[in-house]
């Protein structure tokens, strides 16, 4: 070996020794150093304050790295506006040292995250990774550009980023609305949020009648959060970096992200008897919205179904539809009992609620090593150990009942019995987050929320105040079995993790109100279903995400569940269809959404309810919305105001009752009119089939010329024939009529019995028209009458 080679080998040896002596943690990685929030955010933000914040970051890091030069090299990004912190290249030892500084909230690795978004639009097939899928309705309809969506609700939080008007052009010339109290304290409007009005005369009048003392602000500002959540779901713009406590990270957006939006505040603080949104105010808002020239009205509210002419929503929506406005309403949250659906007028598009394929999982690990899957949005975490487990029914407070303790009412739990333990609470009776608050106030370490019989498999993520997990009925029974058969039961609740591509999805939410239609059983309600469980959208800053006074947290986005959340999903889809097909009537748009829906989940199996049983049209109507298919339905079932007036005649209303709602002249009702057979609804419902019945329908071609064949899936025990069974359209706009005959195959007496047969329950089928490309589906719902 030469001297040169010996020197090189020596240097290499020395380098290797030095390299091996270097600690592994010296490898530099990008870390986020989070210091909380700046005091100079919002209106106080100036260029000088931003520079001052950045300089403070460099000086802070220099105190750990030993020189300003090193901190200059290390810092990648300074958050100098609202978020207080920075990103820097650090080794593990440096990151550990910085994390111990009292000014630091946290230090964590700059991890690569998969975009989860608000998820529902991805789940409905419009987008992927925050981008419109090629050929999707988003692309075709230009994201709902310039469609105007009005929302009757609790108002709006105008500072929400969902209502930023960046990149939007002038307000549409047709707009005639305005902003009441257009001030910083009130509701300042812009080119996105183009209208905001409040209506409280009816609310105040009722409160006075009942001797309730109320304080009402004359402003459309949302102090509740419900209106902001629903409006941003329907028409909120793109907001990158949205999450709820870091969960569900991604870009939030509404169904029509480039639509213009207007808030009509009709709901106020709940009165002692529960009243919030009064008909007088709802009608006033309808009247204004029609004058303002909105395209869509979204109402995530309602009450018990009633006579159409004694229902403010039914009346207001009739006049709106008459003006060409599509009215979308929630079905109600009174499920899973039958005949609980509200907003049942045929001119309303009524929406049920189902799940999507995302969960915020938090596992329950029992002392017997059984692991149960639950959901939560709790930000607090238990130390990694097992905690004593106790059923709340065994821990009532001295002055509380066992029944109150079982459902964890506020003040019902004995701190001496639950302190430091994981307490088991039963769902029902009070709000889910209130149960967590009760456990927190009693000093519990955590809570397991178990479904009752009615809730079945539906589990919901909530922003609980303590570590908590919500589990289904089956797993809840497992927990109770364990705790009652174990001398010293223990459990652990894992931190929350976001999980996507969950199966099965969708399935119907247990709370979603169901048919049959209580007022007019010949009209199938709800019409459609959409995501309504654990939906992320914008929220008010006026109250906590739980709505509980002891919760001092504030969030820009919140997770909410209810048909209130599914309704604006459909409103957003309607916004896209209005932009894409401005000449379509409200009924045509409704038909396009209904006849293109699906009834299978992501396993390609029949959609289930929350009890894992097969769901029916009384839960989901025509099925789950498919926005891309709705853009090109092929055929539509159309209706106009005269058709709705004839429906009213068939429902028993007299010409004198109908006079004035459409014309000053006495309305002339048809000599005969059968709601099931004569109203051109996109579904067929015969609630009292005696022998046979013939239903007449007509469809309009809104696509290319072509020939459609009828495909029949007959309800069990019902013979279905269609005449003609082939429809040929030579041009766009052409209308064809057909008849569907339903015959009870068990008509007569039951074999072997001399007495008349007893009434059977409802049975379900469907009729589809197809040209090989389009499938125009209509549910068939039948109940045979007793002889």
Q: Which domains does the chain have, with CATH numbers?
A: 28-109 (3.30.70.80), 120-356+512-628 (3.40.50.200), 358-500 (3.50.30.30), 634-639+680-784 (2.60.40.2310)
240: Cβ–Cβ under 8 A, 6 or more apart, which residues? 130, 251
State the pLDDT at residue 20.
40
**Whole-structure pTM over 0.75, yes or no?**
yes
Residues in the chain, pLDDT under 50:
1-25, 36, 38, 41-42, 82-83, 110-118, 749-759
Confirm if 57 and 77 have CB atoms less than 8 A apart: no
91: Cβ–Cβ under 8 A, 6 or more apart, which residues? 25, 26, 27, 28, 29
Tokens 């302190």 belong to 419
Tokens 């010296």 belong to 26
State the pLDDT at residue 102.
83
The average confidence (pLDDT) of the chain is 89
Confirm if 740 and 720 have CB atoms less than 8 A apart: yes
Q: Where are the alpha helices (DSSP H) in 601-650?
A: 617-620, 627-630, 641-650
534: Cβ–Cβ under 8 A, 6 or more apart, which residues? 355, 356, 358, 359, 360, 375, 460, 461, 559, 561
State the pLDDT at residue 457.
85
State the pLDDT at residue 304.
87
Given its phi and psi angles, is residue 574 left (phi above 0), alpha (psi -120 to 50 degrees) or beta? alpha
State the pLDDT at residue 711.
98
State the pLDDT at residue 77.
67
State the pLDDT at residue 756.
42
For residue 24, count other CB atoms closer than 10 A to its CB. 7
Distance in angstroms (rounded) separating the CA atoms of residues 466 and 421: 12
Helix (H, G, I), strand (E, B) or coil at 728: strand
State the pLDDT at residue 449.
98
Confirm if 242 and 536 have CB atoms less than 8 A apart: yes
Residues annotated as catalytic (active site), given as ranges: 153, 226, 564
State the pLDDT at residue 528.
98
State the pLDDT at residue 299.
96
Tokens of 719: 């013979």
State the pLDDT at residue 209.
80
Distance in angstroms (rounded) separating the CA atoms of residues 175 and 173: 5
Distance in angstroms (rounded) separating the CA atoms of residues 43 and 37: 14
């Amino acid at each position: 070996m030469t001297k040169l080679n010996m020197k090189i080998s020596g240097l290499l040896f020395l380098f290797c020794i030095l390299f091996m002596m270097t600690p592994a943690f010296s490898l530099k990685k990008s870390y986020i150093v989070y210091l909380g929030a700046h005091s100079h955010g919002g209106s106080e933000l100036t260029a000088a304050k931003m520079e001052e914040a950045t300089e403070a970051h460099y000086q802070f890091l220099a105190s750990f790295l030993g020189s300003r030069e090193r901190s200059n090299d290390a810092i990648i990004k300074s958050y100098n506006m609202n978020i207080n912190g920075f990103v820097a290249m650090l080794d593990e030892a440096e990151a550990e040292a910085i994390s111990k500084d009292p000014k630091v909230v946290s230090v964590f690795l700059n991890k690569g995250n998969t975009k989860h978004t608000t998820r529902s639009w991805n789940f409905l097939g419009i987008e992927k990774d925050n981008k419109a899928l090629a050929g999707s309705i988003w692309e075709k309809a230009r994201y709902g550009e310039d469609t105007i969506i009005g929302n009757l609700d609790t108002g709006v939080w105008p500072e929400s980023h969902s209502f930023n008007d960046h990149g939007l052009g002038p307000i549409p010339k047709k707009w005639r609305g305005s902003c009441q109290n257009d001030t910083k304290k009130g509701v300042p409007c812009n080119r996105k949020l183009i209208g905001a009005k409040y209506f409280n005369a009816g609310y105040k009048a009722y409160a006075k009648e009942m001797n309730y003392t109320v304080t009402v602000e004359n402003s459309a500002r949302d102090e509740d959060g419900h209106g902001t959540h629903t409006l941003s779901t329907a028409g909120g713009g793109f907001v990158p970096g949205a999450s709820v406590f870091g969960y569900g990270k991604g870009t939030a957006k509404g169904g029509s992200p480039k639509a213009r939006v207007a808030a009509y505040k009709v709901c106020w603080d709940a009165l002692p008897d529960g009243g919030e949104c009064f008909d007088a105010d709802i009608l006033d808002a309808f009247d204004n919205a029609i004058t303002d020239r909105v395209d869509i009205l979204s109402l995530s509210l309602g009450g018990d179904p009633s006579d159409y002419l004694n229902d403010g929503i039914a009346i207001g929506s009739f006049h709106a539809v008459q003006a060409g406005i599509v009215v979308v309403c929630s079905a109600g949250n009174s499920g899973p009992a039958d005949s609980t659906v509200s907003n049942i007028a045929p001119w309303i598009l009524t929406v049920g609620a189902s799940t999507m394929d995302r969960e915020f999982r938090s596992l329950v690990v029992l002392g017997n090593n059984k692991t149960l899957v639950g959901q939560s949005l709790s930000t607090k975490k238990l130390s990694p150990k097992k905690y004593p487990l106790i059923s709340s029914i065994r821990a009532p407070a001295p002055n509380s009942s066992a029944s109150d303790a079982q459902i964890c009412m506020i003040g019902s739990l004995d701190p001496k019995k639950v302190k430091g333990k994981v307490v088991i609470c039963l769902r029902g009776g009070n709000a889910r987050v209130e149960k967590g608050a009760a456990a927190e106030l009693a000093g519990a370490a955590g809570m397991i929320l178990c479904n009752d019989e009615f809730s079945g498999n539906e589990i919901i993520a909530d922003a609980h105040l303590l570590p908590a997990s919500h589990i289904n009925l089956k797993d809840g029974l497992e927990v109770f079995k364990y705790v009652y058969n174990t001398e010293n039961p223990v459990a652990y609740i894992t931190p929350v993790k976001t999980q996507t591509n969950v199966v099965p999805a969708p399935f119907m939410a247990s709370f979603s109100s169901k048919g049959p239609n209580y007022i007019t059983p010949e009209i199938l309600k709800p019409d459609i279903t959409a995501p309504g469980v654990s939906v992320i959208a914008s929220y008010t800053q006026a109250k906590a995400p739980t709505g509980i006074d002891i919760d001092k947290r504030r969030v820009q986005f919140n997770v909410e569940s209810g048909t209130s959340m599914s309704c604006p999903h459909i409103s957003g889809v309607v916004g896209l269809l209005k932009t894409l097909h401005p000449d379509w009537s409200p009924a045509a748009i409704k038909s396009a959404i209904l006849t293109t829906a699906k009834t299978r989940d992501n396993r390609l199996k029949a959609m289930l309810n929350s009890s894992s049983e097969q769901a029916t049209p009384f839960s989901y109507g025509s099925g789950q919305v498919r926005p891309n298919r709705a853009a090109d339905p092929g055929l539509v079932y159309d209706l106009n105001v005269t058709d709705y007036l004839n429906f009213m005649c068939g429902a028993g209303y007299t010409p004198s009752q109908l006079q004035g709602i459409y014309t000053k002249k006495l309305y002339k009702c048809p000599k005969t009119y059968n709601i099931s057979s004569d109203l051109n609804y996109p579904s067929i419902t015969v609630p009292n089939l005696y022998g046979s019945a013939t239903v007449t329908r007509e469809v309009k071609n809104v696509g290319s010329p072509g020939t459609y064949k009828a495909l029949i899936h007959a309800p069990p025990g019902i013979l279905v024939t269609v005449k003609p069974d082939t429809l040929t359209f030579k041009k766009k706009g052409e209308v064809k009529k057909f008849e569907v005959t339903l015959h009870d195959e068990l008509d007569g007496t039951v074999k072997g019995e001399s007495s008349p047969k007893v009434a059977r329950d409802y049975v379900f089928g469907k009729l589809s028209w197809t040209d090989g490309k389009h499938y125009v589906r209509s549910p068939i719902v039948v109940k045979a009458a007793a002889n």
